[in-house]
Amino acid sequence: MEIFVLAFFALGYLVLAGADIGVGMLLPYLGRTPGERRETIAAIAPFFLGNEVWLVVTAGVLAGLFPALEAELLHENYPLVVVLLLAWVVRDMGLWLRGRVPGRVWQAAWDGAIVAGSWGLALCWGALLSVVALGIQGPLLVLPALALTALFGTHGLAFAALRLRGVLRERAALLSGGAGELRTFALTAATLATVGALTGVRLEPVAGTSGALLVPVSLVMIPLLVAAQAWVWWTFRHRVTGPSYL
């Protein structure tokens, strides 16, 4: 049972945050002017905070239910996890700070932080998933890592196509071809979830001894947490019609 709790939050993170990471990666492609960039950010603005907490809970579930695995996973990939965290911090700060001061230089700098941080996150996740799933180290790691980074980007485009309008929506639909926007998004989401699940299988996690407490709590909490997030999704279900707070 423990493994389903872990999988639920980890896969939830990959699918949900994967979309806003992908949009961040392709910010310069989607938004060519400052106005377009702000509108592109508005596509993910209401969601990114609620998306990244899935990873915070994943780490919490690891600490509580799989303490041995948490220790092994994190310290054995020390430099990779450190860079991943730095990318996460830089990207979040870019999102929060870009609108705080008017001025092109300020906004361009923090937009740069969003793009660099999103690429950093996607590359680190690509590398981390590859290390765990394929057990490879060294230069060869670059290939699966880049493939997964491209998957994050595609997933971001699919999400942006669902959220944006007009020319931005057309740019986002670059890779969808004739397929519908929702079907493209479902496909990229399912691919990311599959990669995550296959990686999880390779981990062979052994649960600790707190399951008797934490599993029932998780089963009660999960519907509530999903309902809270569903309220966010419902509130922002319409396409973006202009800039948001960020």
Partner 1 sequence: MDTVELARLQFALTAGAHFLFVALTLGLATLVAVIQTRATLGGSPVHQGMTRFWGQLYIINYAMGIVTGLVMEFQLGLSWSGLTEFAGNAFGSALALETMIAFFVEATFLGLWIFGWNKLNRWAHLALIWVVTLTAYASAFWIMISNGFLQNPVGYRLDGGVLHLADFGAMIANPAALVAFGHVLSGAMVAGGFFMAGVSAYHLSRRTAEQDFFRKSLRLGLGLATPALMVTATFGGLGFETMQVTKLAAWSGDLAEAQAAMVAQHGPGDWLPPVSWVQWGGNGMMALFALMLLVAAPSALLMLFRPAVRGLRVWHWLLVAMIPVPFVTTLAGWIFREMGRQPWAVYGLLTTSEAMSPVSAGQMRFSVIAFTSVFAVLIVINYWLLARAAKAGPGAVALGDRPIETPAPVLTF
Residues within the interface to partner 1 (CB under 8 A): 42, 45-50, 52-57, 59-65, 67-68, 70-75, 78-79, 81-82, 85-86, 88-90, 92-93, 96-97, 99-101, 208-210, 213-214, 217-218, 221, 224-225, 228-229, 231-232, 235-236, 238, 240-245
Cα distances (Å, whole numbers) of residue 16 to 27, 40, 144? 17, 17, 21
Q: What angle do CA 192, 194, 195 make, to 5 degrees?
A: 65
Q: Rounded to whole angstroms, how far apart are CA atoms 185 and 104?
A: 33
Q: How far is the CB of 134 from partner 1 (least distance, A)?
A: 22
Q: What is the DSSP letter of 179?
A: S
Q: How far is the CB of 218 from partner 1 (least distance, A)?
A: 6
Q: How far is the CB of 153 from partner 1 (least distance, A)?
A: 23
Q: How far is the CB of 187 from partner 1 (least distance, A)?
A: 26
Question: Which among 125, 166, 104 has a CA at the least distance from the CA of 24?
Answer: 125
Q: How far is the CB of 86 from partner 1 (least distance, A)?
A: 6
Residue (69 or 151) nearer to partner 1, CB: 69
Residue (27 or 41) nearer to partner 1, CB: 41
Residue (82 or 198) nearer to partner 1, CB: 82
Residue (51 or 130) nearer to partner 1, CB: 51
Residue whose pair of structure tokens reads 């377009």 in the numeric block? 36
Q: Rounded to whole angstroms, how far apart are CA atoms 92 and 82?
A: 15
Residue (64 or 200) nearer to partner 1, CB: 64
Q: What share of the chain is helix, strand, coil (3-state, %, to 5)?
A: 85, 0, 15
Residue 231: how many other CB atoms lie within 10 Å: 11
